[in-house]
Amino acid sequence: MDNALGTYPGSSSQRLPIPAEQAARERAWVLAAQAGDQAAFGRLVEAYQKPVYNLTYRMLGNPEEAEDAAQEAFLRAYANLASYDPTRKFSSWLFSIAGHHCIDRLRRRRFRFIPLDEAPRLHKSLPDRHPQPEATALAREEEQLFQRLLAQLSENYRLVITLFYWYDLSCQEIGEVVGISEGAVKVRLHRGRKKLAELLCAHESHEGVPARIPSPSGARKEGRKHALSRC
């Protein structure tokens, strides 16, 4: 049983590194872009296209819409470069624009009528840009499941969760990106994680994945309400 407790399972090597070592070059690019140098802004786009696209993809769940939203986030950043305060982290500022743009899109989506037979398109997974062997089919399936679970979180929770797990940002930095306090970030993280765990449990029990073998100590307090005790 002890080995089941284990340690933190997330490996930081998977998380997206934010090009911090580029700080000096980045500052020069930002200043040049603020002065109207489009090529310098192009450098910034190249440096940040992946993190920004990953953010919009995790938020929106649809590769095409994510690409459009990521482009639009850069356009907004370009249009508002003059209001960027160089003492802030450029990445935080950019993520803030992208994240809020995604939330706007998701809210707008709620008002739009989506025919039932088109709705599944929203959960389409990443297109296959690099054809890979059959072995990755399982990973792709998991990715689809994961994206479906994420899509069931409310947009505010999804943004915080995405920023926490794919970007090396502290809770305080996430708070700055989202525009909430560090405490509020932690609350959203906690609730978001719990919700995801419940969704995963519900999915597994629905799919017929065998539930966890009951612990031998067996002294379950039946009276206490625990949504996850079935798994």
Partner 1 sequence: MRCRDAERALALYLDERVAGPLPSALSDHLVDCPACHDEWAALRRVEALFARAPLADPSPDFAAAVLARIDAGVERVAAVPARRRWLRRGWLGAGLVAGSLLLVALLISLTIWGLIAYGLSTLVTGWLQDPQVVNTWQALLAQADFWVTTSFQTLLTVVEALLPWIAFGAVAFVFLSVLAYVLVLAWGWLIGRVWWSGPATAAVNGG
Among residues 14, 113, 134, 210, the one that binds partner 1 under rule CB under 8 A: 14
- Residues in 137-196 at the binding interface with partner 1, rule: CB under 8 A: 139, 142-143, 146, 149, 165-166, 171, 186, 189-190, 193-194, 196
Is residue 11 involved in binding partner 1 (CB under 8 A)?
yes
Shortest reach from residue 189's CB to partner 1, in Å: 6
Q: Is 170 exposed, middle or buried (0-12, 13-18, 19+ CB in 10 A)?
A: exposed
Is residue 16 involved in binding partner 1 (CB under 8 A)?
yes
Question: Between 120 and 127, whose beta carbon lies closer to partner 1?
Answer: 127
Is residue 124 involved in binding partner 1 (CB under 8 A)?
no
Q: For residue 56, what are its two tokens?
A: 């919009």
- Longest C-alpha distance within the chain, in Å? 68
Shortest reach from residue 176's CB to partner 1, in Å: 16
Shortest reach from residue 37's CB to partner 1, in Å: 12
Query: Are the beta carbons of 99 and 174 closer than 8 angstroms?
Result: no
Q: Is 145 exposed, middle or buried (0-12, 13-18, 19+ CB in 10 A)?
A: middle
Shortest reach from residue 87's CB to partner 1, in Å: 21
Question: Between 28 and 117, whose beta carbon lies closer to partner 1?
Answer: 28
- Residues in 23-52 at the binding interface with partner 1, rule: CB under 8 A: 38, 41-42, 45-46, 49-50
Query: Are the beta carbons of 66 and 53 closer than 8 angstroms?
Result: yes
Among residues 87, 111, 135, 206, the one that binds partner 1 under rule CB under 8 A: 111
d(C-alpha 73, C-alpha 88), whole Å: 18
Ramachandran category for residue 36: left, alpha or beta (phi over 0 → left; psi -120 to 50 → alpha): left
